[in-house]
Structure 1
Amino acid sequence: LINNKVNLGLTKSLNLGIKRAKGKYIARIDADDIALLERLKIQYDYLEKNRDVFLVGSGAYYVDENGKIITTRKPLTETMDIEKKLSILNCLHHPTIMFRHEEFMYREKFVYAQDYDFYLRLLSRKKNISNIPEPLIKYRINPNAISWSKQSKQKCFALKAKEFYHQRLKCGKDKYDQFDPNKILLIDVENSTDEFVLKSEIEAKFKIKKFQDVRKLCKKYFKNYGFFNKIAIYYLLSFTGKRFFDSIRKVLFS
C-alpha cells in the first residue's frame, strides 16, 4: 500500500504505482468501484494466453450510490474495432484495464483524460488492445467523480490527446513538450460562454440529476447560440423529474 504524504493527483499516483510495482501485470480500479471475484484471474489468464495483446479491458456493471445495477456496459472486443473507435473517442473503461508491466507510463501533463492519451500512445507504438465482453467490475455512478464534475476540462484534455495522436501519425512525433495544461485547467467553467464548455456542462449536470443547473446552462446556451435540438431536449427533460430520468438513463447513457 502506497500512502502519499501529499496529494499528487491521479496521474502522478498512477505512475508511482507503476514504478513500484513488481508484478508481471498492472491492474487498474478506482476506490469506489468493485472488482468481481474472478476479475484478476480472468484477465491474467487472457494475457497469458494472448501474448500479442498488451492491454485488456472488460465490460462493467453501472451501479448507483446504493450498489443497485443501473445498466451493463458492453465493450468492443475485436482489436481492429477498438483501434478504429479509439481514433474517434475513448471507448475503453479505465477501471477495468490490465496491462503488461513494461514501464509504459502515463504523461503527467494530462491531469484529466490521461487514460485516453495512454491508449492512443499504445496505438502509436503498435500495441494491441482488447476487451473481455463480460462485466468484471461494478462501476459506481458518483456525482462527485472526475468523469462527471470535471467533464468539460476532461473533454478538452481528450481533444488534446487526439490532436497529439494525429500529429504522431503525420510526423512521427507530437508536440507534448510544448503543451501547457494550464490553458485548459484555468478555464472558468462557471462563467464560460464557450459553446463546447456549455454543451459539456449541460450533459454532465444532466447525468448527475442537477436539473436546475441544467436549465440555467441551457438558457445561457440559447442566449449565446440560439436553439439547438439536443440542448432543447436536455432543457425539456430537466422538468420531468427523477423517476422519468431513471427510466430513460439506460437508453441515453448505456
Structure 2
Amino acid sequence: MKLISYRKEGEARFGAVVGEGVVELNRRFEQVPDLAAFLAEPSLLPQARHVVATEPTDYPFASVQLDAVIPNPGKVICVGINYVAHAEEAGRKVGEFPVIFQRFAETLLPHGEALVRPKVSEQFDFEAELAVVIGKGGAHIDPADAMDHVAGYTCFNDASVRDWQFHTHQYGMGKTFRKTGALGPWLIPAADISDYRKLVVRGVLNGEQLQEGSLSELAFDIPHLIAYVSKALPWNPGDILATGTPSGIGFKRKPPIFLKPGDVFEVVISEIGTLSNGVIDEA
C-alpha cells in the first residue's frame, strides 16, 4: 500500500496510490485531518485497505501535487555516521552512542520538487536514506517494543551544505537550509515490509549509482534509535527518524562531486520506491 499526502484543487488531502490512480482517503475518514493523524489510529489502516481493494480510484495520480509524505512533522530526527563504511570514508569511528541531529519541518520538500542549492555555498551534497515514520507515540520505549511504534517507511534525501555543516562541531546549520530535505514519494506501511534489515538504499545521480547500503549494515538499528531518542523526548505520530546514509557521498570523493543546477538525484529503496528531485539555484 502506498500512502501519500498531496494537494488537489488547492486543498491538502491524503490518500493511497493504486496503479495510475489515487483513492482519496480523507473524505472516507473525515474524523482525521491528515496522514499523521490517520497513522496514529491503527484500526484505520485495515479499513483503508478494504476501501482500496473494493472501490475505484478517484482521479489520476498525475493530477495531484505531492506534499512531503508527512507535510509538517513535529520532529525530524537524523542520525549521522550510522553505516560503518560511511564512518570509514568520513574518517570517523562509530562511538558508543548514535550521532543525533535535527532538521526543521520547513526544510522538507516532496518528490518531484527541485532541491534548492543555497546562494552561500556550492558544496551541496546528497545523502540517500531510509526514513521511519512514527505512528504510535511514547517515551522511555524499550527496544524490544520499539517496532510497535513504527507506522511505515519512506525515502529521504538529507541533502547537506557541507562547508556550513563544518563551521562548528555541530552539524545543525548544514542541515537546515530551506528545501534541502526531500521526503517521499509515499509511505509503505510497516506491515508491508517483512524485514526492514533486508532493504537496500541506493543513491543515483544523473543515472549513475553512487551510494549503496543495506539496512542490515546500520551501526545502531531502528529499535535502538527509537528507544534512545525516547529517553530525551517522547515520540509523536508523524515524527520522522532518518536512519543515516551509506558510503559514497559526494564530498568524500576525489574529486568531490556536489549537486548543481540541472542535476537529478534519486533515492531508490527496494520494496519502497524512488524519490526523485532535480536541483536549482536559490533565486
> TM over 0.5: same fold?
no
Looking at CA atoms only, which structure, 1 or 2, has the larger radius of gyration? Answer: 1
* Higher RCO structure, 1 or 2 (CA under 8 Å, sep 6+): 2
Q: TM-score, normalised on structure 1? A: 0.30
Give the number of the structure whose residues are more often strand, by fraction: 2
Give the number of the structure whose residues are more often helix, by fraction: 1
